[in-house]
Structure 1
């Protein structure tokens, strides 16, 4: 006996048992807030934090038309205006162990204490880091004593950051700036890693430093850290590297990770 083509067939249904584990982030849940104009941090963070047991979730916050305005300290104070919503949108299922905030210069201007307060309004138990806080932590961990500083910032912003680094106990005998008229802010994501490496080589050739800080989350410096440390003998700290390293350590992930300089080998 043949079944008619349009006659519904009986469908079997199975109830499946399952077990629960801790999910992707069984070692660390890291939330990251990135400015919508940042073209580098997300890429480099995923390269550095693609580790077993580490979950990285990010949100982006609207920089409005600030990305087209000259970079000043006053402008930087407005960068994290959308922070509360950005933090809430990182992951609605599970609060982050650590919230990492992108933008080195804005974090420096606003201040770590204020940023921590704002994060904990949303996630009271999260540890908090930002690139500038992470750079200072990296300098301490590496035992740095004389620092060379490179950035794409205008003098007002770079000068404030260098002063805060020195106030924290790390003399900066040489400072270098990527410079091309008034467009360097827009150019920052496009400065080649080779240009960054060349700038570091020039800097260490004229000054006695043991560490070089490459500031700005837009700078594509991660790929040249290892080679620069081998060639120059200096420790290299970048905004994105320091932020990712510090987030891992605050989350309790202490394993050394190769490929991203001396800092990632430190617990």
Structure 2
């Protein structure tokens, strides 16, 4: 990136829980070729895919801590890069969560991965989806409810019953592909993969070619949502159908 590009590029800040697949973000930044900087800061809590722990992970105090860390990057927008730690609050609670995050980030535009999924589906005109969740069933069902509130119909949901984010982050490429492909439904317009702990960005184009439909994954839609909030809508090769279309 040249000095001029550095001056002109927007910065999007991401609050990422613990450590698992955060290397998806520098991967995306490289593909953006100077359009934006993607700054990642971490907050820490128990990484269990369980409701009580997820409510704690996404609490206002923890997200305010992340917003404080991101301030040093001078972001133009901030995103809570956690699906389960946002949809577990429900539709109304997730709106309150984002409003609290925006306030903690000095009024910057803010969002979360759960809202990113809904907006990405709308941007692509997707009406029906299948969900390939890594979570236990009770957590995955909350994502289905959230999507429904956003007007996205889930025609099939399957869960891999993986208890922690760390375990998801250790999945091999072949295991990720198997998990995703085996959970597609022919009546789904798109396939959704809702865990930011899963490395997926390098797999998007091959997965879409294999399935013949858009694949929306957590880190992909999170990056897209942050860019959208910051006013960046340029097409980006290598990140799936979502990045070949202009955002809404």
TM-score range, shorter chain: 0.7 to 0.9
Give 1:61 deviation, angstroms.
1.3
* Residue aligned with 2:6, SS: coil
Give 1:184 deviation, angstroms.
5.4
The 8 Å contact of residues 129 and 246 in structure 1, kept in 2 or not, is answered as yes
The 8 Å contact of residues 20 and 170 in structure 2, kept in 1 or not, is answered as no
Q: 1:93 to 1:173 in 2, by over 3 A?
A: closer
The CA distance in 2 between the partners of 1:241 and 1:93, in whole Å, is 21
Determine which structure has more spread, i.e. the larger CA radius of gyration. 1
1:200 aligns with 2:161: no
Aligned to 1:120: 102
The CA distance in 2 between the partners of 1:239 and 1:257, in whole Å, is 17
Give 1:143 deviation, angstroms.
0.8
The CA distance in 1 between the partners of 2:161 and 2:7, in whole Å, is 41
Segments ≥4 residues shifted beyond 6 Å: none
1:257 aligns with 2:236: yes
The 8 Å contact of residues 193 and 223 in structure 1, kept in 2 or not, is answered as no
The CA distance in 1 between the partners of 2:42 and 2:103, in whole Å, is 18
* Residue aligned with 2:15, SS: strand
1:54 aligns with 2:32: no
The CA distance in 1 between the partners of 2:159 and 2:86, in whole Å, is 19
1:83 aligns with 2:63: yes
The CA distance in 2 between the partners of 1:185 and 1:122, in whole Å, is 26
Aligned to 2:79: 100
The CA distance in 2 between the partners of 1:62 and 1:72, in whole Å, is 15
The 8 Å contact of residues 118 and 152 in structure 2, kept in 1 or not, is answered as no
Give 1:186 deviation, angstroms.
3.9
Unmatched 5+ stretches in structure 2: none
TM-score by length of 2: 0.87
The 8 Å contact of residues 101 and 129 in structure 1, kept in 2 or not, is answered as yes
The CA distance in 1 between the partners of 2:151 and 2:69, in whole Å, is 37
Residue 39 of structure 1: which of 13, 17, 20 is its match? Answer: 20
Aligned to 2:200: 221
Which digits, 9 at most, give the CA deviation of each residue in 1:51-103, with x for residues without a partner? 3141222221121xx23xx5322221100342212211113363x21101121
1:73 aligns with 2:73: no
What CA RMSD, in Å, does the superposition of the two structures yield over aligned residues?
A: 2.0
Aligned to 2:190: 211
The CA distance in 2 between the partners of 1:115 and 1:163, in whole Å, is 17
Which digits, 9 at most, give the CA deviation of each residue in 1:96-148, with x for residues without a partner? 21101121101112333222222232323311121111000111011112101
Aligned residues: 237
Aligned to 1:247: 226
TM-score by length of 1: 0.82
The CA distance in 2 between the partners of 1:125 and 1:29, in whole Å, is 15
- Name the structure where helix makes up a greater proportion of residues: 2
The CA distance in 1 between the partners of 2:150 and 2:207, in whole Å, is 25
Which digits, 9 at most, give the CA deviation of each residue in 1:230-265, with x for residues without a partner? 121111000000000111121111210000100011
The CA distance in 2 between the partners of 1:184 and 1:45, in whole Å, is 21
